[in-house]
Amino acid sequence: MNKINVGVVGATGVVGETFIQLLEERDFPVGELRLFASQNSLGQVREFNGVDVAIQILSDGCFKGLDLVFFSSGDDISGEWAPKAVTDGAFAVDNSAAFRMNPEVHLVVPEINGDLLPKPGHPAVIANPNCSTIQLVMAVEPLLKKYGVKAIRVASYQ
């Protein structure tokens, strides 16, 4: 299997560390792993597959050579840096709200509308909806297909 060069932005936060853990647990075919965080985390390391990986800070060109970059940072960071990852040739998977209202960026829950994912060789920003929305569509989608429900009204108090 081909190796995939991966970056994680927000690598020292809870979600970023979970990304790293899942890549390892699921034996994802990582070639190179680059971990990014704020200046406050510079000098720290995180272990991946028994190897210490140094935390880097974001800089122009830092995504060159990466195929896939996960963003678990704030909206401002994602809004600025995810397009730079795409320009550098990587798919940018954003976990923030930065692109959720952008009509040019699909909100993707792969089990529901994975057909909207960009094709290989065509890097783009891939956004996900809010966490409560993901749970909702996973549960409701089979009901929509089976019973032809036309509308659902939901209130989320977070």
Looking at residue 44, its pLDDT comes to: 96
Looking at residue 146, its pLDDT comes to: 87
Looking at residue 154, its pLDDT comes to: 85
Q: Could you tell me the maximum CA-CA distance found in the chain, to the nearest angstrom?
A: 55
Write the single-letter amino acid at 155: A
Looking at residue 149, its pLDDT comes to: 81
Report whether 50 contacts 20 (CB < 8 A). no
Whole-angstrom Cα distance, residue 89 to residue 62?
A: 11
**110-143 pLDDT, tens digit each:** 999 999 999 999 999 999 998 888 888 898 888 8
CA 147, distance to chain mean position in Å, is 33
Looking at residue 61, its pLDDT comes to: 97
Looking at residue 155, its pLDDT comes to: 86
CA pseudo-torsion sign 38, 41, 44, 48: negative
**93-103 pLDDT, tens digit each:** 999 999 999 99
Q: Which residues of the chain have pLDDT under 50?
A: none
Alpha helices in 6-96 (DSSP H): 14-25, 75-87
